[in-house]
Amino acid sequence: MKYNRRLFVKTTGIGGLALATYPIFGNLVDKPLKVEVLNPYNRVPVSLIIDDSTCLVNMAYYGIPQFAEVFPENYKQDWRKLPREIPDSFVREFGEWCHEEGVKGKYSIVPYPACTGWINRFIPGWTKHELEESLNLVRKVIAPNWDIHPEMVSHTRVIDISTGKPFPFATPQYMENWEWSQAKSADELAAYQAYALTILKEAGLECEGITTPGGYAGRNQNNLALGTMDAIRDVFGSEISHYFRDLFTEKGKSVAPQVLHPSGLEGPDPKCVVSILGCTDDWFGGWDGLKPGNVNNFITEDLMSGRIVDVIDSGEPAIMVCHWPGIYYNGEHVGFNILKEVKKRLHQKYNNLIWMKLSEIARYWAAKDLSTINATEKTITIQAPFASPGFTVKLNTIIRNPELKTEQNDLIPLIRVTDSKALKNNTWFYDKTASLLCIDLRKGLNEIIL
C-alpha cells in the first residue's frame, strides 16, 4: 500500500453565521438578520467512547505483562487475577441495554489484540466458531449504534506491517502506546493505520474513524490527522473521517469537535478529518481493575454538578470516555452499573439530549463549520459540501410558513412544531424573538424560501 505526499491546508470553519442588513420582517427598525447554526435538532449531543474493547480477549489481562516488560516499576499488579476473557454474554447484555436505552458512541475492536491472534483469522485459546460468533454479535448488536474503530493494530507491540510480526524489542520505541509514532510522517502513519483498518474490513466491520492507544502520536498530531484521513479514505472511501486521541476534564475547557484539513469543498469529492474530544476521564472503573469508578464525577446525586453537567450546560457535545475492562470490572458489572446510573441521572435533569455516534457528530460539525450560508429578505441558501440530517439554524426574527426547495425545484412546506425540543427534519418553530429551522441538509445547494 503506497502513500504519496500530499499538501493539505488546515483551516477553521468558514460557515456557521450569515449576516444581512435590511428591515426584518414585520419590524419597524433596521438591524442585521443573523443566521446561526445550532446543535442538531436543537439538542445537546451525548456519546460514550469505549476503549480497549475487542472480541473475547480482555486487553488488560494480556496487555499488562507486556507493558510491565517495558516499565516494570509502573505495572506491578498481579494481572493473572484478572479475567482473561470478556464473554460474549456480557457483550450481548451491554449491547441490548444500550439499544433499549438509546445509548450510542464508539466501540473499539483491536485487530490483533495484545498480539494474541487476529480477529479476521483466529485467536489461540478460542475456537474459530467462537471468534466468528463474537464477530457476528458485534455486527448485529453493537455496530448499529456504535462506530467501530481499530485501536491501532495490537495496542501493545508495534507490528512490522511488511511481515505481520511484532518487532522483537520491549522498549518504548517499539510500543504503540509510546514513542514509535511520535516522529513518523503522515504517510507512515497512514500505512500503519490502513493495515489495522484492512483487518477490520476483512472481518466484515465498517469504519469511519480510529482510536489511538495511550500516547500514540500525541506529539505528532498534524501527521496523525492527515494519516487518518488518508488511511480511512483508502480503505473505506469515507469523505469524512474522524479520530479520538484527546480528552479534557478541566471546567471551562472547550471540547467541541475540531474540523481539520478540509479540501475540495466546491467539487464532487470534498474531504476533511474531525478530531473528536472526550470530556471525562475514565470514572467508570479503569482499564486495569485497580480502582472502581464514581458516578458523582459525571453528575452528582442532586443533579446539580459534575463534569457532564458543565459540558451539557455549555452546549458542547458531552462525550464520556471509558475502558471496556472497567465496564466489566474484574468480572463484575461495576462500570456498567455506573453507566446505568449516569444515564438515569442525565435524563432526570435534561430533556434536550440526543445520543449520537462519533461519526454522526463528526458529520454534523463538518457541515456546521464548512457550509456557506447566505441570507436575503426572502431566502436562505446553504451551500453544503457534506450532507447532514437535523441541520438546525436560528434566525433572530419571526417568519411565516417557510418552504424548502427540492432538487427538482418543488417546494416542501416545513411543518411547524410548538416545542423547540420537538424539532425533526423539515420542521420549524418560532417564539416571540426567534425562529428555528431544521432540515435534512443535502450535499450541494439548499434553499429555504421565507
Q: What does the pLDDT look like over 244-279, one tens digit per residue?
A: 999 999 999 999 999 999 999 999 999 999 999 999
Widest CA span in the chain: 77
The dihedrals phi and psi of 102, each to the nearest 5 degrees, come to 80, 15
Q: If you average pLDDT over residues 351-370, what whole number do you get? A: 98
- Given a cut of 90, whether residue 192 has pLDDT beyond it is yes
Calpha distance 106→209 (Å, rounded)? 9
- Residue 377: the pLDDT is 84
Identify whether the C-beta of residue 323 lies closer than 8 Å to the C-beta of residue 283.
Answer: no
Residue 8: band (very low, low, confident or very high) from pLDDT cuts 50, 70, 90: very low
This prediction has a pTM of 0.94
Q: If you average pLDDT over residues 125-153, what whole number do you get? A: 98
- Given a cut of 50, whether residue 26 has pLDDT beyond it is no
Higher pLDDT: 283 or 13? It is 283
Calpha distance 83→80 (Å, rounded)? 8
Calpha distance 193→207 (Å, rounded)? 12
List the beta bridge partners of residue 30: 23
Q: If you average pLDDT over residues 184-193, what whole number do you get? A: 98
Please give the share of the chain, as a percent, with pLDDT higher than 70: 93
> Three-state SS for 404?
strand
Q: Which cell is 167 given?
A: 518487532
Residue 18: band (very low, low, confident or very high) from pLDDT cuts 50, 70, 90: low
- Residue 23: the pLDDT is 45
The fold of the 42-361 domain, in CATH, is TIM Barrel (3.20.20)
Q: How many residues does the chain have?
A: 450
- Given a cut of 60, whether residue 16 has pLDDT beyond it is no
Residue 1: band (very low, low, confident or very high) from pLDDT cuts 50, 70, 90: very low
Nearest to 297 by CA among 254, 244, 255, 335: 335
Q: Which cell is 161 given?
A: 506491517
- Given a cut of 80, whether residue 17 has pLDDT beyond it is no
- Residue 33: the pLDDT is 82
The dihedrals phi and psi of 105, each to the nearest 5 degrees, come to 170, -140
Tell me the H-state helices in 378-447.
Answer: none
The Cα angle at residue 215 between residues 214 and 219, in degrees rounded to 5:
160
Give domain limits for the chain.
17-37+378-449, 42-361
Mean pLDDT, the chain, rounded, equals 93
Identify whether the C-beta of residue 49 lies closer than 8 Å to the C-beta of residue 319.
Answer: yes
- Residue 278: the pLDDT is 98
Burial of 314 (0-12, 13-18, 19+ CB in 10 A): middle
Angle (deg, nearest 10), helices 88-101 and 334-349 = 0
Nearest to 404 by CA among 373, 437, 374: 437
- Residue 27: the pLDDT is 45
- Given a cut of 50, whether residue 152 has pLDDT beyond it is yes
Distances (CA, A) of 55 to 91, 153, 225, 288, 289: 9, 14, 27, 18, 19
Identify whether the C-beta of residue 250 lies closer than 8 Å to the C-beta of residue 278.
Answer: no
Residue 32: band (very low, low, confident or very high) from pLDDT cuts 50, 70, 90: confident
The backbone region for 374, taken as left when phi is positive above 0, alpha when psi lies in -120 to 50, beta otherwise, is beta
- Given a cut of 70, whether residue 31 has pLDDT beyond it is no
- Given a cut of 70, whether residue 124 has pLDDT beyond it is yes
Calpha distance 375→33 (Å, rounded)? 8
Higher pLDDT: 221 or 12? It is 221
